[in-house]
Amino acid sequence: MPAAPLLSPDEVEAGLRELPGWQLREGRLVKQFRCADFMDALAFVQRVAAPAEEQNHHPDVMIRWRDVTLSLWTHAAGGITRRDLRLAGSIEEVAQGR
């Protein structure tokens, strides 16, 4: 499957305006989520796994006690694509359902 086309900086910024709390850091879309405790953080990551699997696009995950940091970029394209914005939107839907 060919890599998705990279988004322009303007397209990335426009996408971020629709994703509260997400930031562009070192060429990746990044957001930290605060959970109630460590077990809630693990459960949140498990819930994020469902849309990630459905979209066949997986975030980098870092868990520090109750904080979960998710980082998105399309490895095959070497940057941000629509796939990243779509998955970030799905993660937001998961987070709102907590």
| Domain locations in the chain as residue ranges | 9-96
Average per-residue pLDDT for the chain: 95
Question: Are 32 and 55 in contact, with CB atoms under 8 Å apart?
Answer: no
Question: Are 72 and 29 in contact, with CB atoms under 8 Å apart?
Answer: yes
pTM of this structure:
0.93
Report d(CA 27, CA 24) in Å as an integer. Answer: 6
Query: Containing H/E element for 23?
Result: strand 23-25
Over the stretch 24-83, which tens digit does the pLDDT of each residue have?
999 999 999 999 999 999 999 999 999 999 999 999 999 999 999 999 999 999 999 999
Predicted local distance difference test score (pLDDT) of residue 4: 82
Decide which of 3.30.420.40, 3.30.1360.20, 3.20.190.10, 3.90.1300.10 is the CATH code for 9-96. 3.30.1360.20
